[in-house]
Amino acid sequence: MLTINQTRQKVSQGGSVYGLLNAVPTPWMVEMIGHAGYDFVILDTEHMSTNPESLEHMIRTAECASVTPLVRVPGVDRAAITRALDSGAQGIVVPRIRNAEEAHDVVQMARYAPAGQRGITGGRTTGFGTLPLKDYLSQANQEVLIVLMVEDQEGMDNREAILSVAGVDWVLPGAVDLSQSLGCPGDPFHSSVNQAIAELATSCRGRPVEFCALPRSPEQLAEWREWGARAFLLGEDRSLLFKHLKSHLAACRSESSPPSP
């Protein structure tokens, strides 16, 4: 059943939130992320082949582990957005937003009237009728987070118009895809990528749109904190798992190596 979006509430009260992208699509990984203390998890259905039933179980697991479940959908896709929210996601992350029209379409798909035109259903989001439908519709418009990703030059060129669309809550840069669009593919640390991300963040100043930083080093994390960011996506579970597994094995092999003569 729909509950208070703790991540949204924490940011609105001036706090900071930390999340992780889930690229190992299993409920146990989501549960682990929640018990590790992350505020939110982004369940990726853009690049991962997660079936709808598994996604619902992962959302349910996030609820049990007290971590806010957001779903990254494949794009500006009404069916995908509807399924994610009807499964209980407390927010959607939409990649490759290029203009205000696309941003407006996302809001219309994710909000109920009068803020949008999301299709109405009951089910688990209303606690199977425990929460009266009219109350649910109003509360869903307040609690669901709409996060837009800007990942190419066209989106950067139209960022002011995108951020002006009513109903957009957060914006998240896609550094790796930006590197491709900006002519330095695979280099998210390139100066042109850093400059584009800084421009996107600056455009959020004075707007009700929260900039979600994606720091790729301790130095970048410190810089974004100093800038005033309050939402942070700290990488993905797949990458963290691989790095820690590799480091653990290397350490064990080093400890078992015979001493040098």
Amino acid at 115: A
Cα separation, 40 vs 170, whole angstroms: 13
Which amino acid belongs to residue 13? Q
Give residue 219's Cα distance to chain centre: 22
Amino acid at the residue 190: H
Q: Who contacts 239 (Cβ-Cβ below 8 Å, separation ≥6)?
A: 23
By C-alpha distance, which of 122, 131, 116, 180 is closest to 152?
A: 180
The CA distance from 69 to 29, in Å, is 13
Cα–Cα distance measured from residue 175 to residue 236, given in angstroms and rounded to the nearest whole number = 14
Cα 150 versus chain centre, distance? 12
User: What is the Cα–Cα distance from 84 to 260, expressed in whole angstroms?
Assistant: 57
SS3 172: strand
**How far, in Å, are 24, 25, 90, 151, 245 from residue 242 at the CA level?**
11, 15, 28, 25, 5
Q: Which residues are catalytic?
A: 47
**For the chain, counts of helices (H) and of strands (E):** 12, 8
* Tokens of residue 41, six digits: 């998890």
